[in-house]
Structure 1
Amino acid sequence: MIRPTEQRPALTETPRITVERDGHVLRIGFNRPEKRNAADYRLLSELAVAYGELENDPELRVGFVFAHGDHFTGGLDLADVAPRIGADGLEIAPDGGINPWQVSGRQLSKPVVIAVQGTCLTLGIELILASDIAVAAESTTFGQIEVARGILPFGGATIRFPRAVGWGNAMRWILTGDSFDAAEAHRIGLVQEVVPDGTQFDRGLELARRVAAQAPLAVQAALANARLAVREGDAAAEAALQPALVRLASSEDARIGMTAFVTRTEAEFVGR
Protein backbone atom coordinates (compact mmCIF):
# COMPACT_ATOMS: atom_id res chain seq x y z
CA MET A 1 0.00 0.00 0.00
CA ILE A 2 1.40 3.41 -0.98
CA ARG A 3 1.34 5.92 1.87
CA PRO A 4 1.65 9.64 1.15
CA THR A 5 5.14 9.79 2.70
CA GLU A 6 6.61 6.66 1.13
CA GLN A 7 9.37 6.90 -1.47
CA ARG A 8 8.55 5.69 -4.96
CA PRO A 9 11.09 4.55 -7.52
CA ALA A 10 12.15 7.02 -10.17
CA LEU A 11 10.17 6.64 -13.39
CA THR A 12 10.83 8.00 -16.84
CA GLU A 13 7.40 9.64 -16.78
CA THR A 14 6.27 10.05 -13.19
CA PRO A 15 2.49 10.35 -13.07
CA ARG A 16 1.09 13.59 -11.72
CA ILE A 17 -1.81 11.57 -10.30
CA THR A 18 -1.40 8.13 -8.74
CA VAL A 19 -4.32 5.72 -9.04
CA GLU A 20 -4.63 2.58 -6.95
CA ARG A 21 -7.53 0.24 -6.27
CA ASP A 22 -8.27 -0.61 -2.66
CA GLY A 23 -11.19 -3.03 -2.83
CA HIS A 24 -14.16 -0.92 -3.95
CA VAL A 25 -12.28 2.33 -3.26
CA LEU A 26 -10.22 4.14 -5.89
CA ARG A 27 -7.32 5.96 -4.24
CA ILE A 28 -6.41 9.08 -6.23
CA GLY A 29 -3.25 10.90 -5.16
CA PHE A 30 -1.84 14.28 -6.17
CA ASN A 31 1.77 13.45 -7.04
CA ARG A 32 3.78 16.58 -7.71
CA PRO A 33 5.19 17.11 -4.21
CA GLU A 34 8.32 18.93 -5.39
CA LYS A 35 5.99 21.74 -6.57
CA ARG A 36 3.66 21.59 -3.54
CA ASN A 37 1.30 19.66 -5.83
CA ALA A 38 0.61 22.76 -7.89
CA ALA A 39 -1.79 21.77 -10.64
CA ASP A 40 -0.40 22.11 -14.14
CA TYR A 41 -2.47 21.09 -17.16
CA ARG A 42 -1.14 17.55 -17.09
CA LEU A 43 -2.13 17.07 -13.46
CA LEU A 44 -5.62 18.41 -14.16
CA SER A 45 -6.05 16.07 -17.14
CA GLU A 46 -4.78 13.02 -15.26
CA LEU A 47 -7.14 13.83 -12.39
CA ALA A 48 -10.06 14.00 -14.83
CA VAL A 49 -9.07 10.61 -16.26
CA ALA A 50 -9.00 9.13 -12.74
CA TYR A 51 -12.49 10.45 -12.04
CA GLY A 52 -13.64 8.92 -15.31
CA GLU A 53 -12.25 5.56 -14.19
CA LEU A 54 -14.11 5.86 -10.89
CA GLU A 55 -17.36 6.60 -12.69
CA ASN A 56 -17.04 4.00 -15.43
CA ASP A 57 -15.99 0.95 -13.42
CA PRO A 58 -18.99 -0.73 -11.72
CA GLU A 59 -16.67 -2.38 -9.19
CA LEU A 60 -15.58 1.00 -7.86
CA ARG A 61 -17.92 2.60 -5.35
CA VAL A 62 -16.04 5.50 -3.73
CA GLY A 63 -13.18 7.80 -4.61
CA PHE A 64 -10.58 8.76 -2.02
CA VAL A 65 -8.51 11.82 -2.95
CA PHE A 66 -5.32 12.66 -1.07
CA ALA A 67 -1.88 14.13 -1.75
CA HIS A 68 1.64 12.77 -1.61
CA GLY A 69 4.11 14.97 0.24
CA ASP A 70 3.66 17.74 2.78
CA HIS A 71 1.01 19.80 0.97
CA PHE A 72 -2.32 19.07 -0.64
CA THR A 73 -1.92 21.71 -3.34
CA GLY A 74 -0.47 25.15 -3.83
CA GLY A 75 -3.20 25.84 -6.38
CA LEU A 76 -2.93 26.30 -10.12
CA ASP A 77 0.41 26.37 -11.87
CA LEU A 78 -0.59 29.58 -13.61
CA ALA A 79 2.51 29.72 -15.81
CA ASP A 80 1.48 26.44 -17.39
CA VAL A 81 -2.31 26.76 -17.28
CA ALA A 82 -2.94 30.43 -18.11
CA PRO A 83 -1.80 30.18 -21.76
CA ARG A 84 -4.30 27.34 -22.25
CA ILE A 85 -7.32 29.45 -21.30
CA GLY A 86 -9.07 30.05 -24.60
CA ALA A 87 -12.14 31.95 -25.70
CA ASP A 88 -14.37 29.29 -24.14
CA GLY A 89 -12.35 28.95 -20.92
CA LEU A 90 -10.29 25.93 -19.89
CA GLU A 91 -11.16 22.38 -20.91
CA ILE A 92 -9.37 19.73 -18.84
CA ALA A 93 -11.35 16.52 -19.29
CA PRO A 94 -10.17 14.29 -22.17
CA ASP A 95 -12.46 11.70 -23.73
CA GLY A 96 -13.74 9.38 -21.01
CA GLY A 97 -12.72 11.78 -18.25
CA ILE A 98 -14.87 13.79 -15.86
CA ASN A 99 -14.17 17.32 -14.67
CA PRO A 100 -13.41 16.69 -10.96
CA TRP A 101 -14.87 20.08 -10.02
CA GLN A 102 -18.11 19.19 -11.84
CA VAL A 103 -18.77 22.63 -13.22
CA SER A 104 -19.02 21.32 -16.78
CA GLY A 105 -19.63 18.08 -18.63
CA ARG A 106 -20.71 14.76 -17.18
CA GLN A 107 -21.46 14.56 -13.45
CA LEU A 108 -19.93 11.98 -11.13
CA SER A 109 -22.55 9.64 -9.62
CA LYS A 110 -20.31 8.17 -6.89
CA PRO A 111 -19.20 9.76 -3.63
CA VAL A 112 -15.73 11.16 -2.98
CA VAL A 113 -13.90 11.42 0.34
CA ILE A 114 -10.95 13.82 0.48
CA ALA A 115 -8.08 14.25 2.94
CA VAL A 116 -5.93 17.40 2.95
CA GLN A 117 -2.82 18.63 4.71
CA GLY A 118 -0.23 21.40 4.61
CA THR A 119 -1.21 24.07 2.11
CA CYS A 120 -4.63 23.80 0.46
CA LEU A 121 -5.24 26.69 -1.90
CA THR A 122 -7.83 27.67 -4.51
CA LEU A 123 -8.66 24.56 -6.54
CA GLY A 124 -7.97 22.45 -3.44
CA ILE A 125 -10.79 24.16 -1.57
CA GLU A 126 -12.99 23.85 -4.63
CA LEU A 127 -12.24 20.13 -4.84
CA ILE A 128 -13.32 19.80 -1.19
CA LEU A 129 -16.55 21.60 -2.07
CA ALA A 130 -17.11 19.24 -5.02
CA SER A 131 -16.47 16.20 -2.78
CA ASP A 132 -18.77 14.73 -0.16
CA ILE A 133 -16.73 14.19 3.03
CA ALA A 134 -13.55 16.08 3.92
CA VAL A 135 -10.87 15.43 6.55
CA ALA A 136 -8.10 17.93 7.32
CA ALA A 137 -4.86 17.66 9.26
CA GLU A 138 -4.92 20.15 12.11
CA SER A 139 -2.06 22.30 10.73
CA THR A 140 -3.63 22.70 7.27
CA THR A 141 -3.74 26.25 5.91
CA PHE A 142 -6.46 27.18 3.43
CA GLY A 143 -6.75 30.08 1.01
CA GLN A 144 -9.16 31.06 -1.77
CA ILE A 145 -6.70 33.56 -3.21
CA GLU A 146 -7.80 34.03 -6.84
CA VAL A 147 -8.75 37.70 -6.36
CA ALA A 148 -5.14 38.39 -5.37
CA ARG A 149 -4.06 36.97 -8.75
CA GLY A 150 -6.53 38.98 -10.82
CA ILE A 151 -8.95 36.13 -11.56
CA LEU A 152 -12.01 34.63 -9.91
CA PRO A 153 -12.51 31.13 -8.53
CA PHE A 154 -13.70 29.13 -11.55
CA GLY A 155 -13.92 25.64 -10.06
CA GLY A 156 -17.20 26.13 -8.24
CA ALA A 157 -16.30 28.14 -5.11
CA THR A 158 -18.58 31.04 -6.06
CA ILE A 159 -21.46 28.55 -6.27
CA ARG A 160 -20.76 25.99 -3.56
CA PHE A 161 -18.83 27.91 -0.90
CA PRO A 162 -21.74 30.21 0.10
CA ARG A 163 -24.13 27.26 0.07
CA ALA A 164 -21.83 25.12 2.22
CA VAL A 165 -20.75 27.64 4.85
CA GLY A 166 -23.12 30.61 4.55
CA TRP A 167 -22.81 33.80 2.53
CA GLY A 168 -20.80 35.87 4.98
CA ASN A 169 -18.37 33.09 5.83
CA ALA A 170 -17.73 32.41 2.15
CA MET A 171 -17.35 36.06 1.15
CA ARG A 172 -15.00 36.66 4.09
CA TRP A 173 -12.46 34.33 2.47
CA ILE A 174 -13.28 34.62 -1.24
CA LEU A 175 -13.22 38.42 -1.38
CA THR A 176 -10.16 39.02 0.82
CA GLY A 177 -7.95 36.17 -0.31
CA ASP A 178 -6.88 35.77 3.31
CA SER A 179 -5.67 32.42 4.63
CA PHE A 180 -7.47 30.48 7.37
CA ASP A 181 -6.70 27.44 9.46
CA ALA A 182 -8.26 24.01 9.90
CA ALA A 183 -10.16 25.07 13.02
CA GLU A 184 -11.92 27.78 11.02
CA ALA A 185 -12.54 25.37 8.13
CA HIS A 186 -14.24 23.03 10.60
CA ARG A 187 -16.17 25.82 12.32
CA ILE A 188 -17.76 26.98 9.09
CA GLY A 189 -18.38 23.44 7.83
CA LEU A 190 -15.89 23.29 4.96
CA VAL A 191 -14.38 20.11 6.44
CA GLN A 192 -16.14 17.52 8.55
CA GLU A 193 -13.21 16.35 10.70
CA VAL A 194 -9.90 17.79 11.85
CA VAL A 195 -7.37 15.15 12.89
CA PRO A 196 -3.77 15.14 14.16
CA ASP A 197 -1.13 15.80 11.52
CA GLY A 198 -0.11 12.64 9.71
CA THR A 199 -3.38 10.80 10.38
CA GLN A 200 -5.57 12.45 7.73
CA PHE A 201 -4.76 9.79 5.11
CA ASP A 202 -5.71 6.86 7.35
CA ARG A 203 -8.86 8.58 8.64
CA GLY A 204 -9.98 9.59 5.16
CA LEU A 205 -9.40 6.09 3.81
CA GLU A 206 -11.28 4.63 6.79
CA LEU A 207 -14.30 6.78 5.95
CA ALA A 208 -14.07 5.92 2.25
CA ARG A 209 -14.03 2.21 3.08
CA ARG A 210 -16.98 2.71 5.41
CA VAL A 211 -19.01 4.30 2.62
CA ALA A 212 -17.90 1.59 0.18
CA ALA A 213 -19.23 -1.09 2.56
CA GLN A 214 -22.78 0.22 2.19
CA ALA A 215 -25.19 -0.75 -0.59
CA PRO A 216 -23.75 1.11 -3.60
CA LEU A 217 -27.04 1.63 -5.46
CA ALA A 218 -28.54 3.08 -2.28
CA VAL A 219 -25.52 5.33 -1.70
CA GLN A 220 -25.69 6.64 -5.26
CA ALA A 221 -29.46 7.16 -5.04
CA ALA A 222 -29.15 9.10 -1.79
CA LEU A 223 -26.38 11.22 -3.25
CA ALA A 224 -28.33 11.85 -6.46
CA ASN A 225 -31.45 12.92 -4.57
CA ALA A 226 -29.51 15.31 -2.36
CA ARG A 227 -27.85 16.85 -5.41
CA LEU A 228 -31.21 17.09 -7.18
CA ALA A 229 -32.55 19.11 -4.26
CA VAL A 230 -29.60 21.49 -4.52
CA ARG A 231 -29.77 21.87 -8.28
CA GLU A 232 -33.51 21.84 -8.92
CA GLY A 233 -35.13 22.42 -5.53
CA ASP A 234 -36.98 20.44 -2.89
CA ALA A 235 -40.02 19.73 -5.04
CA ALA A 236 -37.97 17.97 -7.70
CA ALA A 237 -36.16 15.88 -5.09
CA GLU A 238 -39.43 15.02 -3.31
CA ALA A 239 -40.99 13.86 -6.58
CA ALA A 240 -38.05 11.52 -7.16
CA LEU A 241 -38.06 9.89 -3.71
CA GLN A 242 -40.80 7.30 -4.14
CA PRO A 243 -39.69 6.11 -7.61
CA ALA A 244 -36.15 5.71 -6.24
CA LEU A 245 -37.46 3.77 -3.25
CA VAL A 246 -39.46 1.41 -5.47
CA ARG A 247 -36.44 0.78 -7.68
CA LEU A 248 -34.14 0.10 -4.73
CA ALA A 249 -36.66 -2.07 -2.88
CA SER A 250 -36.62 -4.58 -5.74
CA SER A 251 -32.82 -4.82 -5.84
CA GLU A 252 -30.73 -7.75 -4.73
CA ASP A 253 -28.94 -5.45 -2.29
CA ALA A 254 -32.23 -4.64 -0.55
CA ARG A 255 -32.80 -8.35 0.00
CA ILE A 256 -29.25 -8.72 1.29
CA GLY A 257 -29.73 -5.79 3.64
CA MET A 258 -32.99 -7.15 5.02
CA THR A 259 -31.50 -10.60 5.56
CA ALA A 260 -28.53 -9.07 7.38
CA PHE A 261 -30.90 -7.06 9.58
CA VAL A 262 -33.00 -10.10 10.49
CA THR A 263 -30.02 -12.40 11.08
CA ARG A 264 -27.86 -9.71 12.73
CA THR A 265 -25.01 -10.41 10.33
CA GLU A 266 -22.79 -8.10 8.27
CA ALA A 267 -24.22 -7.38 4.82
CA GLU A 268 -22.03 -8.04 1.79
CA PHE A 269 -23.57 -5.92 -0.94
CA VAL A 270 -23.17 -6.74 -4.63
CA GLY A 271 -24.38 -3.58 -6.34
CA ARG A 272 -27.40 -5.16 -8.02
Structure 2
Amino acid sequence: MTTERDPTDGRILTRREETIMVITIDRPAKLNGFSAVMLDELSRAYTEMEEDPAIRCGVLCAKGKNFTAGLELSKLSGRFAAGKSLFSPDEVDPVNLRKLRTKPIVAAVQGICFTLGIELMLAADIAIAASDCRFAQLEVQRGIMASAGATIRMAERAGLGNALRYLLTGDEFNAETALRLGLVQEVVAPGEESARAMALAKRIAAQAPLAVAATLANVRRSAFEGLNAAVAELQDLQSRLRTSEDAAEGVRSFIEKRAGNFVGR
Protein backbone atom coordinates (compact mmCIF):
# COMPACT_ATOMS: atom_id res chain seq x y z
CA MET A 1 0.00 0.00 0.00
CA THR A 2 1.66 3.24 -1.11
CA THR A 3 0.47 6.82 -1.02
CA GLU A 4 1.85 9.84 -2.90
CA ARG A 5 3.55 12.25 -0.54
CA ASP A 6 2.28 15.76 0.24
CA PRO A 7 4.67 17.83 2.39
CA THR A 8 1.82 18.70 4.76
CA ASP A 9 1.00 15.04 5.40
CA GLY A 10 3.72 14.50 7.98
CA ARG A 11 6.11 11.58 8.17
CA ILE A 12 7.46 8.74 10.27
CA LEU A 13 11.16 8.95 11.05
CA THR A 14 13.38 6.00 11.93
CA ARG A 15 16.88 5.76 13.29
CA ARG A 16 18.97 2.94 14.70
CA GLU A 17 20.89 3.23 17.94
CA GLU A 18 22.97 0.07 18.14
CA THR A 19 20.39 -2.73 18.60
CA ILE A 20 17.40 -0.40 19.06
CA MET A 21 15.17 1.14 16.39
CA VAL A 22 13.61 4.48 17.31
CA ILE A 23 10.38 5.20 15.43
CA THR A 24 9.21 8.82 15.64
CA ILE A 25 5.86 10.35 14.68
CA ASP A 26 6.65 13.70 13.05
CA ARG A 27 3.77 16.08 12.37
CA PRO A 28 3.69 18.37 15.41
CA ALA A 29 1.98 21.25 13.59
CA LYS A 30 -1.12 19.01 13.32
CA LEU A 31 -0.85 17.49 16.82
CA ASN A 32 0.85 14.54 15.11
CA GLY A 33 -2.47 13.53 13.58
CA PHE A 34 -2.10 10.59 11.22
CA SER A 35 -2.47 10.96 7.46
CA ALA A 36 -2.60 8.02 5.07
CA VAL A 37 1.08 8.51 4.25
CA MET A 38 2.00 8.32 7.92
CA LEU A 39 0.01 5.12 8.41
CA ASP A 40 1.84 3.52 5.50
CA GLU A 41 5.22 4.69 6.74
CA LEU A 42 4.52 3.45 10.25
CA SER A 43 3.70 -0.02 8.92
CA ARG A 44 6.89 0.01 6.90
CA ALA A 45 8.96 1.08 9.91
CA TYR A 46 7.59 -1.77 12.00
CA THR A 47 8.31 -4.22 9.19
CA GLU A 48 11.89 -2.98 8.86
CA MET A 49 12.37 -3.41 12.60
CA GLU A 50 10.97 -6.93 12.48
CA GLU A 51 13.10 -7.95 9.51
CA ASP A 52 16.41 -6.49 10.68
CA PRO A 53 18.24 -9.23 12.63
CA ALA A 54 20.42 -6.61 14.34
CA ILE A 55 17.45 -4.92 16.00
CA ARG A 56 16.39 -6.33 19.37
CA CYS A 57 13.91 -3.73 20.62
CA GLY A 58 11.98 -0.69 19.40
CA VAL A 59 11.01 2.67 20.87
CA LEU A 60 7.92 4.50 19.61
CA CYS A 61 7.83 8.24 20.33
CA ALA A 62 6.71 11.55 18.84
CA LYS A 63 8.08 15.01 18.13
CA GLY A 64 6.67 18.07 19.83
CA LYS A 65 4.38 18.50 22.82
CA ASN A 66 1.89 15.77 21.87
CA PHE A 67 2.05 12.07 21.05
CA THR A 68 -0.86 12.12 18.60
CA ALA A 69 -4.43 13.36 18.34
CA GLY A 70 -5.21 10.20 16.34
CA LEU A 71 -6.43 9.93 12.78
CA GLU A 72 -6.99 13.04 10.68
CA LEU A 73 -10.23 11.78 9.18
CA SER A 74 -10.27 14.32 6.34
CA LYS A 75 -6.99 12.84 5.09
CA LEU A 76 -8.37 9.31 5.14
CA SER A 77 -11.79 9.63 3.51
CA GLY A 78 -10.57 8.03 0.29
CA ARG A 79 -9.11 5.06 2.11
CA PHE A 80 -12.26 4.50 4.13
CA ALA A 81 -14.51 4.92 1.08
CA ALA A 82 -12.52 2.22 -0.70
CA GLY A 83 -12.99 -0.12 2.25
CA LYS A 84 -9.27 -0.37 2.94
CA SER A 85 -7.85 -1.17 6.37
CA LEU A 86 -5.74 1.35 8.27
CA PHE A 87 -2.53 -0.62 7.75
CA SER A 88 -1.27 -2.66 4.84
CA PRO A 89 -1.91 -6.41 5.21
CA ASP A 90 1.51 -6.97 3.63
CA GLU A 91 3.37 -5.18 6.43
CA VAL A 92 3.75 -5.79 10.17
CA ASP A 93 0.69 -4.41 11.95
CA PRO A 94 1.57 -1.49 14.28
CA VAL A 95 -1.44 -2.27 16.49
CA ASN A 96 -0.40 -5.94 16.58
CA LEU A 97 -3.75 -7.49 15.78
CA ARG A 98 -3.08 -9.16 12.43
CA LYS A 99 0.44 -9.57 11.04
CA LEU A 100 2.21 -9.69 14.39
CA ARG A 101 5.72 -8.65 15.38
CA THR A 102 8.05 -10.67 17.57
CA LYS A 103 10.25 -7.86 18.89
CA PRO A 104 9.29 -5.79 21.93
CA ILE A 105 8.46 -2.08 21.77
CA VAL A 106 8.54 0.57 24.48
CA ALA A 107 6.21 3.54 23.84
CA ALA A 108 6.88 7.06 25.14
CA VAL A 109 3.78 9.27 25.17
CA GLN A 110 3.23 12.91 26.08
CA GLY A 111 0.56 15.60 25.88
CA ILE A 112 -2.44 14.61 23.80
CA CYS A 113 -2.74 10.86 23.29
CA PHE A 114 -6.15 10.27 21.71
CA THR A 115 -7.81 7.36 19.86
CA LEU A 116 -5.17 5.68 17.67
CA GLY A 117 -2.52 7.06 20.03
CA ILE A 118 -3.90 4.98 22.91
CA GLU A 119 -4.17 1.95 20.64
CA LEU A 120 -0.55 2.24 19.47
CA MET A 121 0.52 2.68 23.08
CA LEU A 122 -1.43 -0.39 24.23
CA ALA A 123 -0.08 -2.41 21.30
CA ALA A 124 3.43 -1.66 22.57
CA ASP A 125 4.72 -3.88 25.34
CA ILE A 126 5.67 -1.21 27.88
CA ALA A 127 4.40 2.38 27.99
CA ILE A 128 6.01 5.40 29.64
CA ALA A 129 3.78 8.46 30.00
CA ALA A 130 4.64 12.06 30.76
CA SER A 131 2.62 13.45 33.65
CA ASP A 132 0.98 15.98 31.31
CA CYS A 133 -0.70 13.28 29.20
CA ARG A 134 -4.34 13.63 28.21
CA PHE A 135 -5.94 10.38 27.10
CA ALA A 136 -9.28 9.85 25.36
CA GLN A 137 -10.87 7.15 23.21
CA LEU A 138 -13.27 9.49 21.43
CA GLU A 139 -14.78 7.32 18.70
CA VAL A 140 -18.27 7.01 20.20
CA GLN A 141 -18.51 10.81 20.07
CA ARG A 142 -17.97 10.61 16.30
CA GLY A 143 -20.51 7.88 15.61
CA ILE A 144 -17.93 5.10 15.24
CA MET A 145 -16.09 2.71 17.56
CA ALA A 146 -12.47 2.04 18.42
CA SER A 147 -11.28 -0.68 16.07
CA ALA A 148 -7.49 -0.84 16.42
CA GLY A 149 -7.34 -2.73 19.69
CA ALA A 150 -8.71 -0.45 22.43
CA THR A 151 -11.87 -2.50 23.00
CA ILE A 152 -9.69 -5.55 23.57
CA ARG A 153 -6.66 -4.21 25.39
CA MET A 154 -8.31 -1.64 27.64
CA ALA A 155 -10.55 -4.38 29.03
CA GLU A 156 -7.59 -6.75 29.33
CA ARG A 157 -5.45 -4.22 31.23
CA ALA A 158 -7.99 -2.22 33.21
CA GLY A 159 -10.90 -4.64 33.66
CA LEU A 160 -14.26 -4.57 31.92
CA GLY A 161 -15.93 -1.86 33.98
CA ASN A 162 -12.96 0.49 33.91
CA ALA A 163 -12.58 0.07 30.15
CA LEU A 164 -16.25 0.68 29.45
CA ARG A 165 -16.21 3.75 31.70
CA TYR A 166 -14.05 5.49 29.09
CA LEU A 167 -14.86 3.59 25.90
CA LEU A 168 -18.59 4.32 26.19
CA THR A 169 -18.26 8.01 27.11
CA GLY A 170 -15.17 9.20 25.26
CA ASP A 171 -14.23 11.08 28.43
CA GLU A 172 -10.67 12.22 28.98
CA PHE A 173 -8.46 10.77 31.68
CA ASN A 174 -4.99 11.71 32.90
CA ALA A 175 -1.65 9.96 33.35
CA GLU A 176 -2.34 9.15 37.00
CA THR A 177 -5.54 7.34 36.01
CA ALA A 178 -3.78 5.55 33.15
CA LEU A 179 -1.15 4.31 35.61
CA ARG A 180 -3.77 3.20 38.14
CA LEU A 181 -5.62 1.26 35.43
CA GLY A 182 -2.46 -0.42 34.15
CA LEU A 183 -2.59 1.27 30.74
CA VAL A 184 0.89 2.71 31.28
CA GLN A 185 3.68 1.30 33.40
CA GLU A 186 5.47 4.46 34.53
CA VAL A 187 4.76 8.19 34.73
CA VAL A 188 7.65 10.65 34.46
CA ALA A 189 8.09 14.42 34.27
CA PRO A 190 7.29 15.95 30.86
CA GLY A 191 10.31 15.75 28.60
CA GLU A 192 11.75 12.67 30.31
CA GLU A 193 9.52 10.04 28.68
CA SER A 194 11.70 9.30 25.63
CA ALA A 195 14.89 8.97 27.66
CA ARG A 196 13.19 6.60 30.09
CA ALA A 197 11.76 4.53 27.24
CA MET A 198 15.21 4.32 25.67
CA ALA A 199 16.75 3.22 28.96
CA LEU A 200 14.22 0.39 29.27
CA ALA A 201 14.72 -0.58 25.62
CA LYS A 202 18.47 -0.85 26.26
CA ARG A 203 17.81 -3.10 29.26
CA ILE A 204 15.61 -5.36 27.12
CA ALA A 205 18.09 -5.37 24.24
CA ALA A 206 20.86 -6.51 26.60
CA GLN A 207 19.00 -9.73 27.40
CA ALA A 208 19.06 -12.97 25.41
CA PRO A 209 17.02 -12.31 22.23
CA LEU A 210 15.59 -15.83 21.90
CA ALA A 211 14.46 -15.76 25.53
CA VAL A 212 12.90 -12.31 25.11
CA ALA A 213 11.00 -13.43 22.00
CA ALA A 214 9.79 -16.65 23.67
CA THR A 215 8.69 -14.77 26.79
CA LEU A 216 6.81 -12.21 24.71
CA ALA A 217 5.11 -14.93 22.66
CA ASN A 218 4.03 -16.92 25.72
CA VAL A 219 2.60 -13.87 27.49
CA ARG A 220 0.62 -12.98 24.36
CA ARG A 221 -0.65 -16.53 23.97
CA SER A 222 -1.94 -16.43 27.51
CA ALA A 223 -3.66 -13.08 26.87
CA PHE A 224 -5.19 -14.02 23.51
CA GLU A 225 -5.76 -17.77 23.80
CA GLY A 226 -5.96 -18.38 27.53
CA LEU A 227 -4.06 -20.11 30.32
CA ASN A 228 -4.21 -23.64 28.91
CA ALA A 229 -2.75 -22.64 25.55
CA ALA A 230 0.14 -20.81 27.23
CA VAL A 231 0.87 -23.69 29.64
CA ALA A 232 0.78 -26.24 26.80
CA GLU A 233 3.75 -24.64 25.02
CA LEU A 234 5.93 -23.90 28.06
CA GLN A 235 7.91 -27.13 28.04
CA ASP A 236 8.66 -26.98 24.32
CA LEU A 237 9.74 -23.35 24.50
CA GLN A 238 11.98 -23.96 27.47
CA SER A 239 13.50 -27.09 25.93
CA ARG A 240 14.47 -25.17 22.80
CA LEU A 241 15.93 -22.30 24.82
CA ARG A 242 18.03 -24.63 26.99
CA THR A 243 19.89 -25.97 23.95
CA SER A 244 20.74 -22.51 22.59
CA GLU A 245 24.16 -20.86 22.59
CA ASP A 246 22.68 -18.04 24.63
CA ALA A 247 21.59 -20.41 27.42
CA ALA A 248 25.15 -21.72 27.66
CA GLU A 249 26.42 -18.16 27.74
CA GLY A 250 23.89 -17.36 30.45
CA VAL A 251 25.34 -20.10 32.66
CA ARG A 252 28.92 -18.96 31.96
CA SER A 253 28.11 -15.34 32.73
CA PHE A 254 26.44 -16.37 35.99
CA ILE A 255 29.48 -18.41 37.09
CA GLU A 256 31.87 -15.65 36.03
CA LYS A 257 29.71 -12.94 37.63
CA ARG A 258 29.46 -10.78 34.52
CA ALA A 259 26.82 -9.61 32.08
CA GLY A 260 25.92 -12.06 29.34
CA ASN A 261 27.12 -11.53 25.78
CA PHE A 262 24.11 -12.87 23.88
CA VAL A 263 24.07 -13.48 20.14
CA GLY A 264 20.52 -14.70 19.48
CA ARG A 265 21.44 -18.32 18.75
TM-score bucket of the superposed structures, by smaller chain: over 0.9
Q: Secondary structure at the match of 2:64?
A: coil
Match of 2:150 among 157, 162, 165: 157
Letter in 2 for 1:55: E
Query: 1:236–1:94: structure 2 CA closer, same or farther, 3 Å change rule?
Result: closer
Q: Would you say how many aligned residue pairs link Structure 1 and Structure 2? A: 259
**Structure 2 unaligned regions, length at least 5:** 1-6
Structure 2 contact 9–37 (Cα < 8 Å) conserved: no
Query: 1:14–1:153: structure 2 CA closer, same or farther, 3 Å change rule?
Result: closer
CA offsets per residue over residues 225-254 of structure 1, 9 Å max, x none? 111112221111111001111100111111
Q: Secondary structure at the match of 1:92?
A: coil
Query: 1:198–1:270: structure 2 CA closer, same or farther, 3 Å change rule?
Result: same
In the TM superposition, what are the counterparts of 1:1-272 in structure 2 within 5 Å? 16-86=11-81, 88-93=83-88, 95=90, 97-104=91-98, 106-272=99-265
**Structure 1 unaligned regions, length at least 5:** 1-11
Structure 2 contact 10–35 (Cα < 8 Å) conserved: no
Identity of aligned residues (%): 47
CA offsets per residue over residues 194-243 of structure 1, 9 Å max, x none? 00111001001100111111001000000101111122211111110011
1:103, distance to aligned residue in structure 2 (A) = 2.4
Structure 1 contact 45–94 (Cα < 8 Å) conserved: no
Q: Secondary structure at the match of 2:60?
A: strand
Query: 1:143–1:94: structure 2 CA closer, same or farther, 3 Å change rule?
Result: same
Q: Secondary structure at the match of 1:64?
A: strand
Letter in 2 for 1:54: M
Letter in 2 for 1:18: L
CA-based RMSD: 1.5
Letter in 2 for 1:231: F
1:13, distance to aligned residue in structure 2 (A) = 9.2
TM-score, structure 2 normalization: 0.94
